[in-house]
């Protein structure tokens, strides 16, 4: 399963347009996003469940106008996006050896449910995977495609994170990721929810609150360029009528951050 996840991340079969809502303690922002082989671009469509202000629209439009002709900006954005993907992949890569698994039956859709707890001899291969040392929870796998449907974990002990500085995540933090299979067979991440508290240098408190929801995946040409993706976004193609409802339904399934 982990190998399939990494292969799909490294070698996407197709590319898609979708709606993304990012939520943190300061509020939320929702974008119409297009993924391409050269990175993703997006158009701001909501801020805190309201239409963007004139200033916010102008800032977003300025970026979309500049991006197609600015190779340095494209490369910088692509590098940041690849770094985000690499951090996720580093965690997925260590999932097989990080835990001891126990079969826990199947759900109504026939998906395999596994319970997991930390493996005592686990040695993380990356900084991102350090968090797996203290996590226990449940993992669902689709048996026909061998893809991850859902992983829901919580820290059952404090975990040190960081090489070179003292940081600790406290017991009780939660991590949830869900995926769904589209009509063409491709799997998409639809929900990520992270809720951790901890300390840095003993006295400084840290609070990590991240929630991302994605829906309404529609395939775009596989060889789409950044310029072509920007043109599609600026053309103002209508979104599905129920995109807000679909986002809200996914959000209800996540723990409150």
Q: Which of 71, 58, 65, 140 is nearest to 106 (CA)?
A: 140
Helix ranges, the chain (H): 2-10, 54-66, 71-98, 226-234, 243-252
| Maximum Cα interatomic distance, the chain, rounded to a whole number of Å | 55
Question: Residues 135, 152: contact at Cβ < 8 Å?
Answer: no
Q: What is the domain range of residue 93?
A: 2-252
In a domain, 111, yes or no: yes
Tokens representing 60? 């977003």
* The total number of structural domains that make up the chain: 1
In a domain, 257, yes or no: no
Tokens representing 225? 């360029």
In a domain, 189, yes or no: yes
In a domain, 75, yes or no: yes
69-77 — which CB contacts under 8 Å span 24+ positions? Answer: 74/38, 74/39, 74/226, 77/39
Beta strands in the chain (DSSP E): 15-24, 27-36, 39-47, 99-106, 112-118, 135-142, 147-155, 159-160, 167-169, 174-181, 187-200, 204-220
In a domain, 202, yes or no: yes
Q: Which of 20, 14, 11, 72 is nearest to 41 (CA)?
A: 20
CA distances from 64 to 19, 129, 233 (A): 17, 35, 9
CA–CA dist 77, 41 (Å, integer): 9
Q: What is the pLDDT of residue 235?
A: 79
pLDDT in tens, the chain (257 residues): 999 999 999 999 999 999 999 999 899 999 999 999 999 999 999 999 999 999 999 999 999 999 999 999 999 999 999 999 999 999 999 999 999 999 999 998 999 999 999 999 999 998 889 999 999 999 999 999 999 999 999 999 998 886 555 788 899 999 999 999 998 999 999 999 999 998 887 678 888 888 999 999 999 999 999 999 999 998 777 888 899 999 999 988 765 54
In a domain, 219, yes or no: yes
CA–CA dist 125, 153 (Å, integer): 19
Position of tokens 């986002």?
247
Distance linking the first and last C-alpha atoms of the chain: 28
């Amino acid at each position: 399963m982990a190998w399939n996840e990494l292969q799909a991340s490294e070698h996407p079969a197709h590319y898609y347009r979708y709606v993304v809502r990012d939520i943190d303690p300061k509020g939320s922002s929702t974008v119409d996003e297009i993924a391409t082989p050269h990175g993703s671009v997006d158009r701001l469509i909501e801020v805190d469940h309201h239409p963007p202000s004139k200033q916010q629209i102008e800032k977003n439009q300025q970026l979309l106008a500049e991006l197609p002709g600015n190779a340095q900006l494209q490369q910088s954005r692509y590098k940041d996006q690849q770094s985000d993907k690499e951090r996720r992949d580093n965690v997925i890569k260590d999932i097989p050896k990080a835990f001891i698994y126990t079969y826990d039956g199947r759900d109504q859709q026939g998906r395999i449910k596994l319970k997991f707890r930390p493996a005592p001899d686990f040695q993380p291969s990356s900084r991102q995977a350090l968090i797996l040392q203290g996590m226990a929870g449940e993992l669902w796998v689709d048996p026909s495609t061998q893809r991850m449907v859902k992983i829901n974990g919580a820290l059952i002990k404090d975990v040190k994170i960081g090489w070179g500085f003292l940081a600790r995540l406290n017991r009780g933090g939660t991590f949830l990721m869900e995926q769904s299979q589209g009509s063409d067979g491709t799997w998409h991440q639809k929900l990520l929810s992270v809720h951790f508290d901890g300390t840095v240098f003993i006295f400084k408190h840290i609070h990590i609150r991240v929630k991302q929801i994605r829906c309404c995946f529609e395939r775009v040409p596989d060889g789409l360029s950044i310029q072509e993706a920007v043109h599609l976004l600026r053309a103002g193609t209508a979104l599905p009528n129920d995109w807000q409802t679909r986002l809200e339904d996914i959000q209800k399934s996540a723990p409150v951050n």
